[in-house]
Amino acid sequence: MNSTTVPKTAAEVFPQKPPEKGMFISLGPQHPSTHGVLRVAITVDGENVTSAQPDIGYLHRATEKLAEKRTYPQIIVLTDRLDYLAAMTNNWSFCLAVEKMLGVQIPERAEYIRIIVGELQRIASHCVFLGTYGIDIGAFTPFLVAFGRERERILDLFEEICGARLTYNYIRIGGVMADTPVGWEKKVRDFVKEMWGHITEYDTLLTYNPIFMDRTKNIGTMTPEMAIAWGVTGPNLRATGFRADVRKDDPYGLYSKMKFDIPIGKQGDCWERYWVRISEMRESLKMIEQCLDMIQPGEWMAKLPKVYRVPVGEGYGHLEAPRGDLGFYIVSDGSPSPYRMHIRAPSFINLQALQQLIVGWKVADVIAILGSVDIVLGEVDR
């Protein structure tokens, strides 16, 4: 098979062994449940899936190449467009890498603001996951509750601090773009107080719904060995029972000061992947509360020259994004723009595990498994 052509038929996708019996179904790229332009070429024998091959690249924008022609502060704008549901953590991860290379000290207030917006972003991202996963399973209401009500509140908060609702460009190299507006912290506190109740509402609406549990419990199980072999990170890895979180293992910012738990699952099925995310929302709320208690007025941006050159060498910054371990690897040749930038996108790596994860389950389960892995195609294709 020529690597540049998109496979169209079963014989092209599986040149050695075309399906002897059964049917070839092309799930996507235009399908209601592929969460963007993803195509999964699956062969089914009756209702059972015999093979699955994700076909990506429909959204490729060459972000890594574009970064080589832009100065460092300009690249932050590009990172917004990766995982468009969690632009704050993308900004932050890139800034971490550059700050490491520059060796710049971040003001304490900026660190707290970063944790607050980062954790709010995690909640907003998981709200989208919860809503879309509900739709995948057939429940429509959680989507409009989580996506249309709570996430909207978070986006309003973000709009107040940076003027944008989706592509923030708020976390800058050396700090954050601007200080929070007057009264913003109180609004966050009110939201956090409300959100505790809303998460309980999600539990009654979806998490412990018998039909939902029936659809997701013991479906699409993943062992820790398999997850690590595929390089899966984030909630998907933690659901298998493996305790791994960049915030604890390699603390960045002020996460070493925060008190929080890492929720883990037992057998890594769809329901546990879902449940880990719901529990993470609670942990995020705890962290935001701690930050709001500790944050003091002060500087929000480190003193940096207008034009700066990153010293020759290489640097890697990574953090716990809502979807896993998001890393930026930068090679600098001393010029204003990087020589090479590589993005370790968690969605891309989590997606690869699908081809092993889906096989053997029913067609209806494919949707449940695909949804529970929670990929964002903007990050997969970059």
Partner 1 sequence: MFELGPALSHLFQVMRSFATSHGVSPVLAILISKIIQTNIIILLVSLVPMLLVYAERKVSAFMQARLGPMNVGPWGIFQTLADGIKLMFKEDVVPSGADWWVHFMAPVVAVAPVFVCYAPVPFGQGLTPVDLNTGVLFILSVSGISTIGILLGGWGSGNKYSMLGGLRAAAQLVSFEIPRVLSVVPVLMWYGSMSLRTIALAQQGRWFNIIPKWFIFYPVIGQVAFIVFLISSVAETNRTPFDIPEAESELVAGFHTEFGGMKFALFFLAEYAYVFLASAMATALFLGGGDGFLLPNGIIPSWIWFLLKTFAIVFLFLWFRWTYPRLRVDRLMQFCWKFLMPWSFVNIALAGALVLVRMR
* Residue 367 binds partner 1 (CB under 8 A): yes
CB 41 within 8 A of CB 27: yes
User: Which positions from 57 through 116 interact with partner 1, judged by CB under 8 A?
Assistant: none
* Residue 223 binds partner 1 (CB under 8 A): no
CA distance 342 to 318: 12
CB proximity list for 137: less than 8 A, separation 6 or greater: 212, 215, 216, 367, 368, 371
* Residue 155 binds partner 1 (CB under 8 A): no
The sign of the torsion formed by the CA atoms of 160, 165, 170, 171 equals: positive
CA distance 95 to 118: 13
- Identify which of residues 219 and 228 has a Cβ nearer to partner 1 in the complex: 219
- Identify which of residues 91 and 207 has a Cβ nearer to partner 1 in the complex: 207
Question: Closest separation between CB of residue 78 and partner 1, Å?
Answer: 32
Question: Closest separation between CB of residue 79 and partner 1, Å?
Answer: 30
CB proximity list for 41: less than 8 A, separation 6 or greater: 7, 10, 13, 24, 25, 26, 27, 52, 53, 55
CB 48 within 8 A of CB 69: no
* Residue 19 binds partner 1 (CB under 8 A): no
- Identify which of residues 176 and 370 has a Cβ nearer to partner 1 in the complex: 370
211, 229, 294, 312: residue in contact with partner 1 (rule CB under 8 A): 211
Q: Which of the stretches 121-129, 233-241, 280-288, 356-364 binds partner 1 when contact is defined by CB under 8 A?
A: 356-364
Question: Closest separation between CB of residue 37 and partner 1, Å?
Answer: 15
CA distance 173 to 109: 14
11, 22, 31, 267: residue in contact with partner 1 (rule CB under 8 A): 31
59, 66, 139, 262: residue in contact with partner 1 (rule CB under 8 A): 139
Residues 362, 367, 371, 373, Cα dihedral to 10°? 40
* Residue 238 binds partner 1 (CB under 8 A): no
9, 105, 141, 223: residue in contact with partner 1 (rule CB under 8 A): 141
DSSP secondary structure, 223-251, as one string: -HHHHHHHT--THHHHHTT----HHHHS-
74, 209, 352, 355: residue in contact with partner 1 (rule CB under 8 A): 209
* Residue 32 binds partner 1 (CB under 8 A): yes
* Residue 200 binds partner 1 (CB under 8 A): no
CA distance 369 to 49: 12
Question: Closest separation between CB of residue 165 and partner 1, Å?
Answer: 19
Question: How far does the chain reach from its first CA to its final CA, in angstroms?
Answer: 24
* Residue 136 binds partner 1 (CB under 8 A): yes
- Identify which of residues 142 and 315 has a Cβ nearer to partner 1 in the complex: 142
159, 214, 225, 249: residue in contact with partner 1 (rule CB under 8 A): 214
How is residue 118 written in tokens?
Answer: 């980062």
> Taking phi first (over 0 means left), then psi (-120 to 50 degrees means alpha), and beta for anything else, what does residue 298 get?
left
Which chain residues interact with partner 1 by CB under 8 A? 23, 25, 31-33, 47, 134-141, 144-145, 148-149, 205-206, 209, 211-212, 214-215, 362-367, 371
